[in-house]
A = this chain, B = another copy of it.
Amino acid sequence: MHAALQALSDPHRMAIVSMLADGERPAGDFVDALPISQPTVSRHLSVLREAGLVAVRKDANRRLYRLNPAPLAELDAWLSQYRRFWSNRLDALEAHLDKEFPQ
């Protein structure tokens, strides 16, 4: 999960991940959306790939990127040890969940 944090620590890469919350997108969408050059976007995508945060598939000319949520889930799990600091609401929820959907 540390690789994911490292990858997310760049604002442009975080923006890419945010755009992918809506679904699959071709690389060109990020080039249009971000104020940086195409090769730089391509490099960011490569970093996100290596971190396991995104996956690609080919569609003719284009490369369609989609989110790979696993590292985010890991990050979420790490964060869970801190939720008690701000969220009694969630604590209650988890207690309930464990009863509702045991194991």
> Could you list which residues of chain A lie within 8 angstroms of chain B, going by C-beta atoms?
2, 5-6, 8-9, 11, 14, 18, 21, 67, 69-70, 72-73, 75-76, 79, 81-83, 85-87, 89-90, 92-94, 96-97, 100-101
Contacts and interface: CB of A to CB of B under 8 A. Distances in A.
Contacts of A76: 76, 79, 82-83, 86-87
A35 to B, nearest CB: 16
Given A6-B9, A70-B86, 16 more contacts: A2-B9, A2-B14, A9-B9, A18-B81, A21-B82, A69-B82, A72-B85, A72-B86, A73-B86, A76-B79, A76-B83, A76-B86, A89-B101, A93-B96, A96-B96, A96-B97
The residue among A14, A21, A73, A82 with the most chain B CB atoms within 10 A of its own CB is A82
Given A69-B86, A76-B79, A76-B83, A2 B6 contact: no
